[in-house]
């Protein structure tokens, strides 16, 4: 799984920073970030996110990234 391009820009927005992190996030951090987009709350007793939650998060991330590309790409 990779997070790149528009998704990296979205990382900066959702984490309220102007620069991406100096080191790329770990796979676990990416999975939790995507799972939160799918509705995962991340409480102490919740355990790990399930496949459906990650899938819903990936759908949301894809939709948000597509909107980002449409909204912020300069049209000739």
For each successive 10 residues of the chain (76 residues), what is the average pLDDT? 60 67 79 90 92 93 82 69
Predicted local distance difference test score (pLDDT) of residue 35:
92
Predicted local distance difference test score (pLDDT) of residue 72:
73
Predicted local distance difference test score (pLDDT) of residue 68:
75
Predicted local distance difference test score (pLDDT) of residue 70:
82
Specify the DSSP element, H or E, that contains 69.
helix 51-72
Residue 14 · residue 74 · CB < 8 Å: no
Comparing CA positions, the residue from 43, 17, 49, 45 lying closest to residue 30 is 49
């Amino acid at each position: 799984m990779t997070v790149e391009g528009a998704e990296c820009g979205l990382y900066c927005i959702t984490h309220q920073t102007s620069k991406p992190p100096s080191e790329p996030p770990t796979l676990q951090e990416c999975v939790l970030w995507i799972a939160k987009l799918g509705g995962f709350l991340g409480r102490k007793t919740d355990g790990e996110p399930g496949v459906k939650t990650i899938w819903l998060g990936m759908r949301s991330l894809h939709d948000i990234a597509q909107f980002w590309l449409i909204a912020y790409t300069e049209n000739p």
